[in-house]
């Protein structure tokens, strides 16, 4: 199910994608062109309201674009969602309090009709992967924020999707936990070989994790620039000491500034309100 | 940035738009009432036509009087050479309203005070909460005559006993919600107050009470109705003169000959209940508007 | 919303049991003090018997007339139970419908809230006339309507308490409406529903007893209280009141027990206070 290694085939292909909200014509995204190749780790970074979360949801067919083509895993985004080709992780772990960790991770598998035996085996594998073995019977409210996110990641990986979509998953964690989770995520990514599209606020995080960093401008969101991150792998704490790391952070920052990302935007309100309103959630 | 956006969102639309909104709501209300009226008459017509029967229940003019008949009865005298029914009911409603209002004020204050006391001591909470909850299982109605005699013996008028019954039904939701509301204060705001070496009273007044307002008003809305219910049923055994409870008992006796009067009384009682409720809703709009950060 | 007593749940084992005991100790203490005060004050201050007899005489009367009081209690309890069942079933069904068709729900809500402000109990004489004074159906109707509103409001609030992110998550699993309902809305609604049901138990009992005051069968508890008060047999009246109260509490406790069983995995901070 996974595309092993780097091939030239695009897992996600966006052409001319545009998104307007409501009749008032708030243009969230304009002319987005992006290809994400198999096995890549692509970060989307930009100021609040630049549309990065919207873009992620468009890839996941949770929002429909106003114009443009979205091809995921060689199919339409809609088809990809119905075929469950991707797993998604939100900033909030979104675990169900009334289910144990085991049943939370097994949720998508339940819905695909996996047998109980297969499910518990897979859950055990995943818990080992995210280093939470032994926590099967716990409830989400008994776990720390970082642990909850790990459960959320395990759940997203449960059916071994080709694509992993992550919307600021570590945004609610403290700096130390965040750095630790970054290392965890890289390890998991290397082990599973999936493709990752990662939305973040943090320049440092984007550079540390990715193969490429896509910089977006404030609303209407456009791609200002793409920075190739050529830091050696496997990356670890030493990577942050490399001069190249600081250079890349500077590059990303320059791109952000060029796109106007550091201007105080009076009108860039939180995206989530628009998303919620649009989807009638 | 987010604050500015939030503040913008809370600006009210211009006056003309608001007036239009009110008119639309009013129109909608009339439509709904009209639909309900229509349904009532439809049910009556269908029930009579089909001879629908459920046990002893039959649809006819004594069980389902025409709504316009009920309204007409309001304009007729209830006794030979007596005043119009609506005047009689209006006076009864005032009596009951007075009892309910006093009971509401009493019950809400006591409930609030209990909540304030309990919030400061986990021990007291765990000791007394079960009994506060259990208190509502006691059929206060049954205890009412005793209350009347006891208070009467102390020279208090009998309507006050009814108010006490109303207070009994009122205090419980207020206590529970006051407790919840006072506890819902932001821990960081409490820490801030500690850093100012603020005394308990200051913390209470400046932080906890404002935080508890949404919960308090939710309880007051329930209590508004509860006080009216308490007043009505408090009048029953005590045979306190002049209130809606008595009117109900009275017209109940004549139901066979004049069912419309009982229905009319219920209509007035319902209006009273809704009126009390609306007063609290309006009070909430006024009070809570002045403290926007704590809108639930 | 925080619960009133905020603590993590007591674990299993001796430490847990000790914690649970200490949780209940103050309440037990107050109970003992209350009983002592009751007995002491009523006898000591010479409170007239009809106002409040000493607890011991009430217990004695209970023992003597147990079968009479208890059968009256059961009769009334059945009325309350019937009303409770009908009212909560109707409320839950309506809440499910209103949650499914959100637009209707939003439109109906203000009217449901206003309808809740009507003194339902005033309609007891009317139901008596509809179903006959002696028939339990008339009291069940009142209890049912009383129970209907809190259960409806609470269950609906629970069904709509789902966060948007949870819906998005389910959609990412290509879940249909029915799946989302079964796996997310329903479990999320349970604590709220039980909150409403617990309120309903108390209202159902009260409705049945108060309904008796407008006339009812001789076998009913409310009638027993009224009758015994009328012939100045206050010890019997109080004994009956005590039984009414106990039945109400048992009803509440039963629903609370069902709640604890069904919601084993939920954090205890959710749901109601007791």
Residue B103 has pLDDT above 90, yes or no: yes
Poorest-pLDDT segment among C26-35, C81-90, C223-232: C223-232
Which chain B residues are within 8 Å of A218, Cβ to Cβ?
none
Residue C23 has pLDDT above 60, yes or no: yes
**Chain B within 8 Å of C45 (Cβ-Cβ)?**
no
Domain coordinates of chain A in residue numbers? 1-85+197-281
Residue B165 has phi, psi (to 5 degrees) of -60, -45
**Inter-chain residue contact C214 with B225, CB threshold 8 Å:** no
Residue C268 has pLDDT above 70, yes or no: no
Q: Where are the alpha helices (DSSP H) in A5-140?
A: 52-59, 77-82, 101-105, 107-111, 116-129
What pLDDT sits at residue B238? 61
Query: A27 to chain C nearest CA, in Å?
Result: 22
Query: C168 to chain B nearest CA, in Å?
Result: 24
What pLDDT sits at residue A251? 92
Question: What is d(CA B133, CA C274) in angstroms, rounded to the nearest whole number?
Answer: 9
pLDDT (tens digit per residue) in C52-84: 888 888 888 888 888 888 999 999 999 999 999
**Inter-chain residue contact A265 with B1, CB threshold 8 Å:** yes
Which among B295, B154, B167 has a CA at the least distance from the CA of B230? B167
- Choose the closest CB to C173 out of A98, A111, A276: A111
What pLDDT sits at residue C20? 76
CB atoms within 10 A of CB B293: 8
DSSP, collapsed to helix, strand or coil, labels residue A270 as coil
**Inter-chain residue contact A96 with C166, CB threshold 8 Å:** yes
Q: How would you classify the pairing of strands A26-37 and A75-76?
A: unpaired
Max intra-chain CA distance, chain A: 54
What pLDDT sits at residue A102? 93
Residue B121 has pLDDT above 80, yes or no: yes
At residue C272 the predicted structure's pLDDT band, cuts being 50, 70 and 90, is: very low
Residue B276 has pLDDT above 90, yes or no: yes
Q: Residue A45: beta bridge partners?
A: A200, A215
Distances in Å between the Cα of B279 and the Cα atoms of B129, B286, C246 are 29, 11, 36
DSSP, collapsed to helix, strand or coil, labels residue A67 as strand
Domains, chain C, in order of start with CATH, read 55-262 (1.10.3720.10)
Question: What is d(CA B161, CA B103) in angstroms, rounded to the nearest whole number?
Answer: 9
What is the rounded end-to-end Cα distance, in angstroms, of chain A? 32
What pLDDT sits at residue A272? 52
pLDDT (tens digit per residue) in B62-91: 677 777 777 777 777 767 667 777 888 888
Question: What is d(CA A200, CA A166) in angstroms, rounded to the nearest whole number?
Answer: 9
Q: How would you classify the pairing of strands A86-89 and B57-58?
A: unpaired
Average pLDDT of every residue of chain B = 81
Which chain B residues are within 8 Å of C5, Cβ to Cβ?
122, 125-126
What pLDDT sits at residue B6? 42
CB environment C68-107: b (16+ within 10 A), e (fewer): ebbebbebbbebbbbbbebbbebbbebbbebbeeeeebee
What pLDDT sits at residue A8? 54
Question: What is d(CA C57, CA C242) in angstroms, rounded to the nearest whole number?
Answer: 12
Question: What is d(CA A72, CA A10) in angstroms, rounded to the nearest whole number?
Answer: 8
pLDDT (tens digit per residue) in B139-161: 888 888 788 778 877 888 888 88
Distances in Å between the Cα of B88 and the Cα atoms of B79, B84, B233, B251, C137 are 10, 6, 19, 12, 32
ipTM score above 0.85: no
pLDDT (average), residues C197-208: 89
pLDDT: which is higher, C273 or C174: C174
Poorest-pLDDT segment among B127-131, B279-283, B286-290: B286-290
- Choose the closest CB to C129 out of B62, B124, B133: B62
What is the rounded end-to-end Cα distance, in angstroms, of chain C? 15
Query: B187 to chain A nearest CA, in Å?
Result: 19
pLDDT (average), residues C228-253: 87
Evaluated on CA atoms B249, B255, B257, B259, the torsion sign reads positive
Question: What is d(CA B90, CA B265) in angstroms, rounded to the nearest whole number?
Answer: 10
Residue B4 has pLDDT above 50, yes or no: no
What pLDDT sits at residue A43? 95
Query: How many percent of chain C have pLDDT more than 90?
Result: 18
Which among B113, B65, B80 has a CA at the least distance from the CA of B264? B65
With a CB-CB cutoff of 8 Å, which residues 41-80 of chain A face chain C? Answer: 57, 60, 62
Question: What is d(CA A100, CA A120) in angstroms, rounded to the nearest whole number?
Answer: 12
Average pLDDT of every residue of chain C = 83
| DSSP 8-state assignment for residue B66 | -
What is the rounded end-to-end Cα distance, in angstroms, of chain B? 22
With a CB-CB cutoff of 8 Å, which residues 62-101 of chain C face chain B? Answer: none
**Inter-chain residue contact C122 with B266, CB threshold 8 Å:** yes
Poorest-pLDDT segment among A164-178, A258-272, B94-108, B216-230: A258-272
DSSP, collapsed to helix, strand or coil, labels residue A197 as strand
Which chain C residues are within 8 Å of A279, Cβ to Cβ?
164, 168
Please compute Rg for chain A using Cα positions: 18
What pLDDT sits at residue B292? 41
Chain mean position to CA A200: 8
Question: Token pair of B205, please?
Answer: 């007044």
Poorest-pLDDT segment among A229-243, B180-194, C137-151, C163-177: B180-194
Which chain B residues are within 8 Å of C246, Cβ to Cβ?
137
**Inter-chain residue contact C168 with A141, CB threshold 8 Å:** no
pLDDT (average), residues C134-161: 88
Question: What is d(CA B220, CA C200) in angstroms, rounded to the nearest whole number?
Answer: 19
Query: How many percent of chain C have pLDDT more than 70?
Result: 92
**Inter-chain residue contact A94 with C184, CB threshold 8 Å:** no
**Inter-chain residue contact A81 with C166, CB threshold 8 Å:** no
Chain mean position to CA C138: 19
pLDDT (average), residues C195-221: 86
Q: Residue A12: beta bridge partners?
A: A36, A72
Residue C148 has pLDDT above 70, yes or no: yes
What pLDDT sits at residue B120? 87
Query: How many percent of chain B have pLDDT more than 90?
Result: 18
For every one of its 281 residues, what pLDDT tens digit does chain A have, with 9 covering 90 and above?
444 444 457 889 999 999 988 766 788 898 899 999 999 999 999 988 788 989 999 999 888 899 999 999 899 999 998 888 899 998 888 888 888 999 999 998 988 889 999 999 999 999 998 889 999 999 998 899 889 999 999 999 998 898 999 999 998 888 888 888 899 899 999 988 899 999 998 999 999 999 999 999 988 889 999 999 999 888 988 999 999 999 999 999 999 988 877 765 544 445 555 555 554 44
CB environment C178-200: b (16+ within 10 A), e (fewer): eebbebbbbbbbbbbbbbbbbbb
Query: B118 to chain A nearest CA, in Å?
Result: 28
Which chain A residues are within 8 Å of B5, Cβ to Cβ?
269-270
At residue B191 the predicted structure's pLDDT band, cuts being 50, 70 and 90, is: confident
Q: Residue for token digits 């790391």?
A: A245
pLDDT (average), residues B242-263: 80
What pLDDT sits at residue B15? 74
Residues of B with CB under 8 A from a CB of A: 1-2, 4-5
Q: Which residue of B has its CA nearest to A268?
A: B1
B137 and C205 Cβ atoms separated by less than 8 Å: yes
What pLDDT sits at residue C6? 40
Q: Which residue of A has its CA nearest to C188?
A: A98
Poorest-pLDDT segment among A262-271, B133-142, B268-277: A262-271
Question: Token pair of B172, please?
Answer: 């419980």
Q: Where are the alpha helices (DSSP H) in B136-243?
A: 140-153, 158-183, 187-195, 200-203, 209-238
Residue C251 has pLDDT above 70, yes or no: yes
Note if the pTM is more than 0.80: no
What lies within 8 Å, CB to CB, of A212 at 6+ separation is A40, A41, A42, A43, A226, A227, A228, A229
**Inter-chain residue contact C114 with B143, CB threshold 8 Å:** no
What pLDDT sits at residue C12? 62
What lies within 8 Å, CB to CB, of C38 at 6+ separation is C52, C54, C55
What pLDDT sits at residue C211? 84
Q: Where are the alpha helices (DSSP H) in C45-123?
A: 55-64, 66-100, 102-116
Residue C25 has pLDDT above 80, yes or no: yes
What pLDDT sits at residue A3? 43
Domain coordinates of chain B in residue numbers? 14-58, 70-294
DSSP, collapsed to helix, strand or coil, labels residue C49 as coil
Q: Residue for token digits 């009067």?
A: B261
Query: Looking at domain A1-85+197-281, which of 3.40.50.720, 3.30.360.10, 3.20.20.70, 3.40.50.300 is its CATH number?
Result: 3.40.50.300
What pLDDT sits at residue C231? 82
Q: Residue for token digits 């600081």?
A: A246
Chain C contact partners (≥3 CB pairs within 8 A): A, B
Query: B2 to chain A nearest CA, in Å?
Result: 6
Which chain C residues are within 8 Å of A90, Cβ to Cβ?
165, 168-169
Q: What is the dotted CATH code of the domain comprising B70-294?
A: 1.10.3720.10
Distances in Å between the Cα of B261 and the Cα atoms of A61, A183, B69, B78, B89 are 62, 79, 10, 8, 10
Which chain C residues are within 8 Å of B276, Cβ to Cβ?
117
């Amino acid at each position: 199910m996974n595309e092993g290694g780097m091939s030239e085939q695009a897992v996600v292909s966006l052409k001319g994608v545009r998104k307007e909200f409501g009749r008032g014509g708030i243009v969230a995204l304009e002319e987005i062109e992006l290809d994400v190749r198999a096995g890549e780790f692509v970060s989307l970074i930009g100021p609040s309201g630049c549309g990065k979360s919207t873009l992620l949801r468009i890839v996941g067919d949770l929002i429909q674009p106003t114009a443009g083509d979205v091809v995921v895993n060689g199919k339409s985004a809609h088809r990809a969602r119905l075929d469950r080709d991707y797993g998604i992780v939100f900033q909030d772990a979104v675990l169900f309090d009334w289910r144990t960790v085991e049943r939370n991770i097994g949720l998508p598998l339940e819905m695909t009709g996996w047998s109980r035996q297969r499910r518990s085996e897979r859950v055990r594998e995943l818990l080992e992967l995210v280093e939470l073995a032994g926590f099967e019977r716990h409830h989400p409210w008994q776990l720390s924020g970082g642990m909850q996110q790990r459960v959320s990641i395990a759940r997203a990986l449960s059916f071994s999707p080709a694509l992993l979509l992550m919307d600021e998953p570590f945004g609610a964690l403290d700096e130390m936990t965040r750095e630790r989770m970054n290392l965890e995520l890289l390890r998991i990514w290397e082990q599973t070989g999936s493709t990752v599209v990662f939305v973040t606020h943090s320049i440092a995080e984007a550079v540390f994790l990715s193969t490429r960093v896509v910089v977006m401008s404030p609303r209407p969101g456009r791609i200002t620039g793409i920075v190739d991150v050529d830091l050696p792998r496997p990356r670890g704490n030493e990577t942050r000491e490399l001069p190249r790391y600081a250079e890349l952070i500077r590059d990303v920052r320059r791109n952000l500034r060029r796109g106007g990302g550091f201007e105080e935007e009076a009108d860039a309100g939180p995206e989530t309100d628009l998303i919620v309103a649009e989807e009638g959630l | 940035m987010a604050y500015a956006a939030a503040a913008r969102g809370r600006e009210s639309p211009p006056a003309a738009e608001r007036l239009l909104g009110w008119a639309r709501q009013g129109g909608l209300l009339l439509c709904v009432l009209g639909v309900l009226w229509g349904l009532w008459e439809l049910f009556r017509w269908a029930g009579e036509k089909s001879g629908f029967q459920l046990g002893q229940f039959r649809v006819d003019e004594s069980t389902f009087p025409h709504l316009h008949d009920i309204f007409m009865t309001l304009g007729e005298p209830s006794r030979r050479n007596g005043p119009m029914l609506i005047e009689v009911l209006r006076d009864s409603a005032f009596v009951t309203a007075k009892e309910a209002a006093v009971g509401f004020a009493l019950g809400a204050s006591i409930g609030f005070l209990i909540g304030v006391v309990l919030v400061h001591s986990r021990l007291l909470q765990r000791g007394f909460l079960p009994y506060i909850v259990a208190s509502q299982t006691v059929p206060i109605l049954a205890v009412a005559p005793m209350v009347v005699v006891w208070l009467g013996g102390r020279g208090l008028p009998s309507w006050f006993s009814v108010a006490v019954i109303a207070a009994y039904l009122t205090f419980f939701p207020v206590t529970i919600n006051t407790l919840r509301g006072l506890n819902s204060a932001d821990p960081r705001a409490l820490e801030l107050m500690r850093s100012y070496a603020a005394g308990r009273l200051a913390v209470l007044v400046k932080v906890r009470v404002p935080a508890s307002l949404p919960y308090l008003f939710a309880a007051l809305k329930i209590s508004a109705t509860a006080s009216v219910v308490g007043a009505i049923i408090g009048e029953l055994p005590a045979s306190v003169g002049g209130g809606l409870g008595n009117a109900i008992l009275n017209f109940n006796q004549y139901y066979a000959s004049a069912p419309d009067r009982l229905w009319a009384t219920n209509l007035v009682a319902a209006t009273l209940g809704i009126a009390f409720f609306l007063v609290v809703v309006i009070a909430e709009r006024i009070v809570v508007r002045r403290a926007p950060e704590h809108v639930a | 919303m925080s619960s009133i007593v905020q603590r993590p749940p007591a674990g299993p084992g001796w430490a847990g049991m000790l914690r649970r005991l200490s949780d209940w100790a103050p309440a037990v203490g107050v109970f003992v003090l209350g009983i002592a005060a009751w007995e002491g004050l009523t006898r000591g201050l010479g409170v007239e018997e009809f106002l409040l007899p000493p607890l011991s005489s009430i217990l004695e009367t209970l023992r003597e007339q147990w079968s009479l009081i208890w059968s009256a209690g059961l009769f009334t309890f059945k009325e309350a139970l019937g009303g409770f069942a009908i009212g909560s079933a109707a409320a839950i069904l309506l809440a499910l419908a209103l949650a499914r068709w959100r637009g209707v729900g939003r439109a109906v809500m203000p009217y449901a809230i206003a309808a809740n402000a009507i003194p339902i109990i005033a309609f007891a004489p009317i139901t008596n006339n509809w179903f006959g004074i002696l028939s339990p159906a008339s009291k069940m109707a009142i209890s049912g309507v009383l129970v209907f509103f809190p259960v409806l409001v609470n269950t609906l609030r629970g069904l709509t308490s789902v966060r948007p992110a949870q819906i998005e998550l389910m959609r990412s699993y290509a879940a249909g409406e029915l799946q989302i309902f079964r796996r997310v809305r329903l479990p999320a609604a349970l604590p709220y529903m039980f909150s409403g049901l617990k309120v309903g138990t108390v209202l159902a009992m009260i409705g049945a007893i108060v309904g008796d005051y407008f006339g009812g069968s001789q076998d009913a508890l409310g009638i027993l209280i009224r009758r015994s008060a009328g012939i100045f047999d206050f010890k019997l009246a109080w004994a009956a009141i005590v039984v009414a109260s106990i039945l109400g509490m048992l009803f509440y406790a039963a629903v609370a027990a069902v709640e604890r069983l069904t919601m084993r995995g939920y954090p205890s901070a959710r749901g109601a206070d007791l």
